[in-house]
Structure 1
Amino acid sequence: MTTIGSTDVFPLALGANPFGWTSDEATSHEVLDAFVDGGGQVVDTADSYGDGASESILGSWFERTGRRDEVLLATKVGRKSDRRNLRPDTVRTAVGESLERLRTDRVDLLWAHYDDEDTPLAETLATFEELVQAGDVRELGISNYSPDRILEWLEIAEREGFRKPVALQPEYSLLRRESYEDRRRAIATDAGLAVLPYWGLASGLLTGKYSSAEDIEQAADSRRGGIAAGYASDEAFEVVRVVTEVARAQDAEPGTVALAWLLGREGVSAPIASVSRPSQLPSLLAVPQLRLSDEETARLTAASDAVGR
């Protein structure tokens, strides 16, 4: 188990971004059933995913199953197509609409999805505090903020007596390390922030799905192939090769190995990973149980070092 805020949870989060995108409602419900049945708790969505479709699918699942209290529900504000800002009125309206779509009375973890430098941070945080005090939001998290702005957030919260954030969501994987390891890791450790990295599988590249740039080109018309192309390089495919070799030795899936490496990194509490169908879930739920040897971890890290941090 790991801790997010005051809650002990399974150390892997389900990303709900495929819901309403690569996964229809019925299949998304099957994924949620299997995830929670397998011990998972944290489900991460955003009002911008499918322009609200992901939240609506989650809401219909809560209504159908009555399993709302079994989930630590995380959603984000600030990036929806019709309101890309964190002005006070925008935040209030966005959270109200999210609660309606999610068919719930509270968000367990509300992320500021992206920084809004045109709105004074103190105003945004004061609005978050209103929502916490009203019971609409339990805890707060920071996603895609610069190190300096994270520090500013922490300073304002301390000075004004606002609810302090409990979590940080950076991009982090074997193929992308610098943005977390440069300064955010130290900030998160010092502030006691739970770290929930996204894109830990590099849009599928670290699942072993693609072994060459040609494989990605052939899948370029797929919804994820184009994103995976942004990671492609000779050094990246060498990482994929090492991940695959370690997976073979461990009798595990490559994605399980890549996320197990990530879970073992300093400060990481629960990597976020997404699936489009239930058959993909067992490899994710197996992550906390996989134990990489020191030699395997060193091989993976060395291959990752060559990509450039």
Structure 2
Amino acid sequence: MDYLNLGRSGLRVSRACLGTMNFGTGHGLAAGDEAEAGRVIDAFIEAGGNIIDTADLYHRGETEEIVGRAVRGRREQVILATKGAMPVGTEGRGLSRRHLTRALDASLRRLGTDYIDLYQCHQWDPATPIEETMATLDGFVRAGKVRYIGCSNFSATQIVEAQWAAARVGGTPFVSLQPQYSLVQRVIEAEILPACERHGMGTIVYGTLGGGVLTGRYRHGETPDPDSRMGRLLGHSMPGANRWAESLLNDRNLDIAGELVKVAAGLDAAPSEVALAWVARRPGVTTVLLGPRTAEQLRQNLAAFDLDLPQEALARLDEISAFDPGPMDGSFFHLTPRR
């Protein structure tokens, strides 16, 4: 496993980051199957991975509790990253001093630790002055509760505002951004990655398999298997689930996935391995967030970091995924680039 500094900081992270959104009742793992989550974390650490990303939002705090129990006794071996801003249970939301202070203390309790290595703002809060947010986060660092701070789903403008605000209040700047990035979602290349480079921020990229589209499971004219991720979303009662699945299964994305399958076949590799290997080699990417449900899926994902992509394969992947950036940012809520 290779390691890089996260942005302009001394924090060295593995090129693979373990995402934990699948750890919790009813999401990917069998209900209550904490043992499999533990096996995934064990396999990740054994493979040399050191950064584990979670959030208070995931399963209303259950995911943080699972992660905390899994790393108990080896806390110093891992970099724990979590996020705050979203509502958990009946709590409020946002990046105010009041909410973030309560959110951080709750995450510390659930994770069973007295400090967070990387505490991230889950999304921008237009209702709170960014100076208040950055001063609050700096207070966490000075109190020893947080080592480094970052953000997730910020636009380029929001990144700049936050870093300027940190300088104005004499506080700690962000060292990382967590944006969406894949062969079907390259919009961060236009403005967000340059903003990160200019302001000393590394990236923890997520959504690298395009919601599962880049696994090669979905094809034009075929109804997704009801047991697949897209099949479950299309049949889900959650507001917006159908629209999200349909936006991912658009003609452009399926065309890219079809070409990816051909490139992967020529390399005798799985499409998901090639998609992950492409992202890992992109300029500006520090670490790639993986979201396995099982230890076997994790091993398949990690194989991508040893996959050699020939120049012709890289050129073909760049060509098939070329995009018109348009007036968009790389947030979670912008799922497909404009055509």
Query: Aligning the two structures, in what range does the TM-score lie when normalised by the shorter sequence?
Result: over 0.9
- The one-letter code sitting in structure 2 at the alignment partner of 1:188 is C
Whether 2:20 is the aligned partner of 1:11: answer no
Q: Which aligned pairs between 1:50-61 and structure 2 lie closer than 5 A?
A: 50-61=59-70
Could you tell me how far 1:161 is from its partner in structure 2?
2.0
Whether the 8 Å contact between 1:62 and 1:103 is mirrored in structure 2 is no
Name the CA distance, whole Å, in 2 between partners of 1:229 and 1:263.
Answer: 27
Please give the per-residue CA displacement for 1:131-171, whole angstroms capped at 9, x wherever unaligned: 00111101111111222121111111122221111101111
* Paired position in structure 1 for 2:316: 299
* Paired position in structure 2 for 1:290: 307
* 2:84 counterpart (77, 81, 84): 77
Whether the 8 Å contact between 1:204 and 1:228 is mirrored in structure 2 is no
* 2:266 counterpart (249, 254, 260): 249
Whether the 8 Å contact between 1:167 and 1:193 is mirrored in structure 2 is yes
Say which is worse superposed, 222-231 or 169-178, in terms of deviation.
Answer: 222-231
Whether the 8 Å contact between 1:213 and 1:229 is mirrored in structure 2 is no
Query: What is the RMSD of the two structures over their aligned residues, measured on CA atoms?
Result: 1.9
* Paired position in structure 1 for 2:246: 229
Identity of aligned residues (%): 36
How many residues in Structure 1 have an aligned counterpart in Structure 2? 306
Could you tell me how far 1:221 is from its partner in structure 2?
4.7
Name the CA distance, whole Å, in 1 between partners of 2:234 and 2:152.
Answer: 22
- The one-letter code sitting in structure 2 at the alignment partner of 1:35 is F
* 2:75 counterpart (59, 68, 76): 68
Alpha-carbon spacing, 1:230–1:175, altered in 2? closer, same or farther (3 Å):
same
* 1:105 counterpart (111, 114, 124): 114
Gaps spanning 5+ residues in structure 1: where?
Answer: none
Please give the per-residue CA displacement for 1:227-248, whole angstroms capped at 9, x wherever unaligned: 5432112221221122222222
Name the CA distance, whole Å, in 2 between partners of 1:282 and 1:140.
Answer: 29
Please give the per-residue CA displacement for 1:179-236, whole angstroms capped at 9, x wherever unaligned: x112111101112211111111111111122233524374455258855432112221
SS class of match (1:124): helix
Name the CA distance, whole Å, in 2 between partners of 1:215 and 1:275.
Answer: 24
Gaps spanning 5+ residues in structure 2: where?
Answer: 236-241, 324-335
Whether the 8 Å contact between 2:159 and 2:196 is mirrored in structure 1 is no
Whether the 8 Å contact between 1:216 and 1:229 is mirrored in structure 2 is no
The TM-score, its normalising length taken from structure 2, stands at 0.85
Please give the per-residue CA displacement for 1:102-141, whole angstroms capped at 9, x wherever unaligned: 0111111111001111011111111101100111101111
* Paired position in structure 2 for 1:263: 280
Question: Greater helix share, 1 or 2?
Answer: 1
* Paired position in structure 1 for 2:172: 163
The TM-score, its normalising length taken from structure 1, stands at 0.93
Name the CA distance, whole Å, in 2 between partners of 1:213 and 1:271.
Answer: 31
Name the CA distance, whole Å, in 1 between partners of 2:280 and 2:46.
Answer: 21
Whether 2:32 is the aligned partner of 1:22: answer no
* 2:216 counterpart (183, 192, 208): 208
Name the CA distance, whole Å, in 1 between partners of 2:273 and 2:170.
Answer: 41
